[in-house]
Amino acid sequence: MTSWVGRTAAEIAAAVREKRATPHEVVAEHLARIERLEGRVGAFRRLRGDAALAEADQVANRADLSELPLAGVPVAVKDNLAVRGESTRIGSAATPDTPADHDHVTVARLRAAGAVVVGLTNVPELCVFGTTDGVHGTARNPWDTTRTAGGSSGGSAAAVAAGMVPIALGNDGMGSLRIPAANCGLVTIKPGHGTIPAGISDGDWFGMSENGPLATTVEDARLMFEVLADHRDARARQPATRRIALSLRSPLLGVGVSRPYADAARDAAALLTRAGHDVRPAEPPYPWWLGTTSLAHWTAGTAVDAEGLDPRRLTRRTRVHATVGRRLVKSVRSGARREQLRRRMEPFFAAHDVLLTPALARRGPAAAPWHERGWLLNLLANTNYSPMTPPWNLTGWPAMAVPFGTLPNGAPCAVQLVGRPGSELELLDVAGQLETLRPWRRTAPLG
């Protein structure tokens, strides 16, 4: 009997379209793996076992089965996006346990493409922090379960890296796709503003938050991206020579990049040079005020999301974060600093097609009850390991995390690719070359 666990979304969908597999058997196999591994990984807040199997049978009976790009593919959804019939808890005890009466547009697009939602994944409270732990569970890195999966799409990343699902849906407001993807050895792309519908919380963190895919291959990331963007690019894409800037410097003053992550970016640059790209060291003109601007937007977004929730049911780190941000909402809404940053970066991206950086500054923190610890400790832990991602939410430009190399403990390392507006497919092309030239192990060896 063929096992569909560990296969890519593209392989599963092709088999279902060609009647070599049924959606029911594919989903059942993945549910069995979730049941076996979930106690060690903590990926899911809510598993939809019977409902998912019923939906799989509905997919099998669709008249357009042979045309569905994600036919029968199990998918996990981050628990800040509405799934019809399920509550959206956003990692908090303060949110209502009320079932949604409709799917978020991205969930609807995945289902229209034939995907089956098997569950909702764990997130930190209000999706604020880069560690996924809280009242609904702790998401661990399947490659090293003593470490966090990252955040805030940590549960979605853990589910994919553990082979519980081939793809998952997450979102990114300050790195919340790229951070867990880098921790867990996955491919992700945070699209540029307006490419994929957002609709995340109240105002999408002032337009900085974007929905996107988590996958084990560039092919799957591209496939899911095209479904979410409602745009299929059927053109044959020829490798193109890109002007690629290599930067190893942290955008935030006082935060350094550890040697494994710097070495990974250097090695990726050397590989792309040998592939024919014009790769040169070049530093983006990060302003001195980038750190304070990032903190202002991060806290102000939380302040908006916390409005109307009972503060007594929020954790201490969330309450303090929101309190700090409450005074900054008005200035952040003006968008002045974001526009200033875009203008500052535009000449750099006129001279370079792609920016290549380390994805993180160091490995993720321990899988621990960070939600029970103080705000300042959380702030320092997050900032010191993930300073590379926030600038590209502030600009609203596309950015990817791509597995590349390994850390000393054998867990995956990763690099970040950044491009100008509208360059999502070009970034995916470069990521695909890295994958071809230096393939990575797709799922963690959990057994």
Structural domain contains residue 89: yes
Whether the per-residue pLDDT at 400 is higher than 80: the answer is yes
Of 238-242, 305-309, 440-444, minimum mean pLDDT range = 238-242
Could you tell me the pLDDT band of residue 220, with boundaries at 50, 70 and 90? very high
Structural domain contains residue 294: no
Whether the per-residue pLDDT at 203 is higher than 90: the answer is no
Structural domain contains residue 57: yes
Could you tell me the pLDDT band of residue 1, with boundaries at 50, 70 and 90? low
- Residue 369: how many other CB atoms lie within 10 Å: 12
pLDDT digits (tens, 9 = 90+) for 262-309: 999 999 999 999 999 999 999 999 999 999 999 999 999 999 999 999
CATH at residue 133: 3.90.1300.10
Could you tell me the pLDDT band of residue 240, with boundaries at 50, 70 and 90? confident
User: What's the domain count of the chain?
Assistant: 2
Could you tell me the pLDDT band of residue 234, with boundaries at 50, 70 and 90? low
145 and 169 part of one domain: yes
User: So which residues are the catalytic ones?
Assistant: 78, 152, 176
Whether the ω angle into residue 152 lies within 30 degrees of 0, i.e. cis, is yes
Could you tell me the pLDDT band of residue 239, with boundaries at 50, 70 and 90? low
Dist CA 384 CA 182 (whole Å): 15
Which pLDDT score is estimated for 237? 63
83 and 183 part of one domain: yes
247 and 224 part of one domain: no
For tokens 């990817």, what's the residue?
A: 400
Residue where one domain finishes, among candidates 229, 251, 266? 229
User: Minimal CA–CA distance to 183: which of 220, 156, 213?
Assistant: 156
pLDDT digits (tens, 9 = 90+) for 24-48: 999 999 999 999 999 999 999 999 9
Query: What does the pLDDT average to over 349-363?
Result: 98
133 and 165 part of one domain: yes
pLDDT digits (tens, 9 = 90+) for 330-341: 999 999 999 999
HSE at residue 95, side-chain half, CA atoms within 13 A, is 21
Structural domain contains residue 323: no
Answer yes or no: are the C-beta atoms of 446 and 40 closer than 8 Å: yes
Which pLDDT score is estimated for 201? 79
211 and 252 part of one domain: no
Mean pLDDT for all residues in the chain: 97
Burial of 158 (0-12, 13-18, 19+ CB in 10 A): buried
77 and 206 part of one domain: yes
Whether the per-residue pLDDT at 235 is higher than 90: the answer is no
For 385, the token pair is 């390991």
Of 12-21, 64-73, 225-234, minimum mean pLDDT range = 225-234
142 and 275 part of one domain: no
The boundaries of the domain holding residue 395 are 243-289+336-430
Whether the per-residue pLDDT at 238 is higher than 70: the answer is no
pLDDT digits (tens, 9 = 90+) for 89-100: 999 999 999 999
Could you tell me the pLDDT band of residue 2, with boundaries at 50, 70 and 90? confident
The phi, psi pair for 425, rounded to 5°, reads -70, -30
202 and 279 part of one domain: no
Whether the per-residue pLDDT at 236 is higher than 60: the answer is no
Residue where one domain finishes, among candidates 203, 229, 255? 229
Residue where one domain finishes, among candidates 183, 200, 229? 229
Whether the per-residue pLDDT at 61 is higher than 80: the answer is yes
Structural domain contains residue 213: yes
pLDDT digits (tens, 9 = 90+) for 116-166: 999 999 999 999 999 999 999 999 999 999 999 999 999 999 999 999 999
| Helices 336-351 + 290-306 axis angle, to 10 | 130
pLDDT digits (tens, 9 = 90+) for 403-428: 999 999 999 999 999 999 999 999 99
189 and 281 part of one domain: no
Whether the per-residue pLDDT at 246 is higher than 80: the answer is yes
The phi, psi pair for 102, rounded to 5°, reads -155, 160
Answer yes or no: are the C-beta atoms of 237 and 425 closer than 8 Å: yes
Structural domain contains residue 87: yes
252 and 190 part of one domain: no
Query: What does the pLDDT average to over 349-373?
Result: 98
Structural domain contains residue 423: yes
Structural domain contains residue 324: no
282 and 160 part of one domain: no
Query: What does the pLDDT average to over 4-8?
Result: 97
Name the DSSP letter for residue 176: T
247 and 206 part of one domain: no
